[in-house]
Structure formats: structure tokens, C-alpha cells
Amino acid sequence: MVDGNDTKIIVTKVCSRCLTEKNHADFTINKRNRDGLDTYCRSCLAMAKKRYHKEIKVVTPGMKTCGNCRISKPHGDFYTTNSSGDGYASVCKICQRKNARVRKLNRDYGMSEYQYEIMLKSQENVCAICGEPETRKQYDKIRALSVDHDHKTHKVRGLLCHKCNTALGGFNDDPELLIKAINHLKEKS
């Protein structure tokens, strides 16, 4: 595609299986999806089809193989569901969390996991406001820095720790309100 400045615009998409950002040409057409492309890239789709036809499944009691990472894990590593024959989700909890994060980055901020990692590296793994690393935990692990964005334009501004992100949200991203708060602190100190 070429815009008015004769600049090539390459449209990309994240494969939901290998979680890598690829050009639209790397995906097959699937008119049932919103973007008109398959959710898997061509190579992942070929691997999935090959495994489906050639894989002989050995079922170990109390174990299940994750459909994403292909690692055999105990049933406790899978969410329960009524939609499968064995009562467990086809993808393990870890893969579901990772896939959900990648989808959220793409859906809410229009960025890939790779773009997030580049931004994180450029900020030296610390908050863009306070300069401290994230300390809040989720699932017994330190959370990733939050994506700070303008709620009107949706432009990404940087990565923030939970405290700074919540503080900005509390002030409705209003610079005048933040200045009033700064003046209040200076007067009362």
C-alpha cells in the first residue's frame, strides 16, 4: 500500500500461535475473521495441520498436553471448562495469560509484544515518571509496567509503574489539575 508521500506502509499482524509479528502476506485469507485473515501465520497453520493428522496422542492419567506450547502438564495447570470432552481447557494457564497479554497490547494500544519490549528497553526497565521498577505482584510474579496512553487520541506515551499510572488516572490525565496538586503540595510543605 502507498500513501500520498510515496511511502510504503507495511501492515502487520501477530500470529496467535507463535506470537510473532508478521506481514499480512504471511497469513491465509479467512473471511470469517474481522481482519479477513487467519489467526495463525502460514507456517504455524501448516504445523498445526501436520500435527493434527500425524500426531498419535498418548494419554497419561492426570496429564494433558497444552495446545499452544505442546508441553504435557498436570490437569491443575489447565482451567476447567464444560466445552471440552475431558473438562479442561486446551491451552494451559501460562499460555492463556501470555496470549491474553499479547491480545490486549494489540487490541487496546495497537502495539506488538516486540514493540512493548523495545519501549521497555529504551526506558531501562523502569517507570517513565518515577524511574523505579515495578513492585506490584500478580500471580506471585512482578507485574509488567503499564502502558500509559492518551485516552482521547490513544497515542502511547510510555510505560509506567502501577502507582504512577493510577495517579495519572486519578487526575484524569489533566495537566492543570496536576499543577494544582503540585502547588498544593508546595504550599502545605
State residue 59's pLDDT score: 65
The answer as to CATH 3.40.1800.10 being correct for domain 111-189 is: yes
* Tens-digit pLDDT profile for residues 128-180: 999 999 888 877 888 889 999 888 888 899 999 999 999 998 898 889 999 99
Residue 1 pLDDT exceeds 70: no
Q: How confident is the model at residue 73 (pLDDT cuts 50, 70, 90)?
A: very high
Residue 30 pLDDT exceeds 90: no
Angle at 99 between CA 97 and CA 100, to 5 degrees: 65
Model-level pTM? 0.56
Per-residue cell: 60: 497419561
Closest C-alpha to 111, from 173, 154, 64 = 154
Q: How confident is the model at residue 18 (pLDDT cuts 50, 70, 90)?
A: confident
Neighbouring C-beta atoms of residue 7, cutoff 10 Å: 8
Q: Where are the domains of the chain?
A: 1-54, 57-98, 111-189
State residue 4's pLDDT score: 54
Which burial class, exposed, middle or buried, applies to 188 when counting CB atoms under 10 A from its CB (0-12, 13-18, 19+)? Answer: exposed
* Domain range 1-54, CATH class: alpha beta
Report the percent of the chain where pLDDT is more than 90.
Answer: 29
Cα 2 to Cα 106: distance, rounded to the nearest angstrom: 23
* Matching fold, domains 1-54 and 111-189: no
